Structure 1
C-alpha cells in the first residue's frame, strides 16, 4: 500500500521538506504523484530511502549517493553488506574513543593513572598505515609530499577527504565483478587517481606500482578488501589498464 509523504516522514523520522528535496534533485522520486499533487511512496521507495539514509549516516554527500544508487552496477544487498562492514568499523573506533574518555575522566579524578600513550588511544588520523613500505618503494620525497598535502588540510578538508575516500572505495567495491577494462570501471578508477593526486603527485607508473602493492602485500590487501572481497585485485588490474592508457 502506498504512503503519502507525511506518512513516510513520520515513519522514518525525517522531515517532509527533506523528502521534497530528495524528489527535486532526483535522488528519491515517489512512485506516483496524484492529480491533486500528493506524492505516493511504495515499499520499493522505502527500501531505496533506507539505502540513502545508510549512506548519509556514513557521511556520503547527496550527489555521490545519487551516482552510486543510480549506477547500473548497483546491487542493494552488496551495498548493505558494505554498509554493515563500515558501520562495524565506525563502531569499533567509537568504542575505543569512549573507553579513552572514560579512562581520562577516572584519571582526572585520581582513580587511575594514564600514560601519555593511553591518552591518545582511539585516535586515528591516517588512512595509510604503510608509510614505511611506501618510503622504501618510492622514496622520502614522494611520501613527504603526500603527508604535507594532508597536514596542510583544515579539519573540515580532512573530514571531506575521508568521506571521498570511503565513497570512491565503496563505488569501486560495487563494480568489482565488472571487467576492469569496462568504461564504468575505468571512470571509477580515474576518481581514485584524481583523489590520490589531491594529496600527492602520482605518475602513471607510480599509480600502477601502487596497484601492484595492493595485491602483493597482504597488509594492503586486507585493508582494501574490507570494502569487499576481491577489491584489491580488481583495483590492481584497473589501475594497470588506466596507467597504460595514460602513457599511450
Structure 2
C-alpha cells in the first residue's frame, strides 16, 4: 500500500488532484487509516494509469469515470492505445533530437519544420477518443447512468456479480445446458436494462473479455470459483448460437 504522498511522487499527479479524484469517486482510496491517511493498492495505481491515459486523450474527468466504471471497459484495448500513443510521442521526440543535433553540428541548412509537426499524434488521439466516446452503446450508457448514485451503482455491480456466482454453482454442467443459457440471457438482460443495449455481438465480446485474464477473470473467479469466467464465456457462446 502507498500513501497519497508516495502516489503523487511516482505519478506526478498533485496531492490536491488525488484528493479531488477520491472525492468525486474517480480514484477512491483503497483504505483510509484511523488517522485519516489515504492508502492506495496496486489495483488503484493501475486505475490511475488508465485515468492519465484518458486525460492524454482529452476526456473530461466525468467521462473517464463513466468509461472506467462501465462493464464494457476493455483494459487490453486501453493499454494498446497507451502504447501506440507513447510510440508516436517517442518518434516525435527523436525527430526533434535529431534536428537539434543537426543544427548544433552543421548549423541550419534548410528551413524545414517537419520535426515539429504533431499531426500524427493528434490524429491518433482523436481516433482513440472517438473509439471510446462516440459509440451508440457509450452514449446510451451515459444517459442511463446520469444522476445515478454511488450506492445504486454498487447495487447494480453486486447484482451482476451475483449472476456470476450463480454461474459458478453450475460450472460442472455443460455450457449449453438450459440453466447455463438462462443465466447468460439473464446477464445480457441485466446489462441492457442498466447500462446499454447488449446485442449478441457485444455480449460475445464481453464474454471473451471476462475469460481473457486480468482483473475481470480474477474477480469473476473470486465469486464463482476457478473456471467460472471461462464457463460463463462458453455459456454466452451457446446462447448466441441459438
TM range, normalised to the smaller chain? 0.3 to 0.5
Question: What is the TM-score when the length of structure 2 is the normalising length?
Answer: 0.46
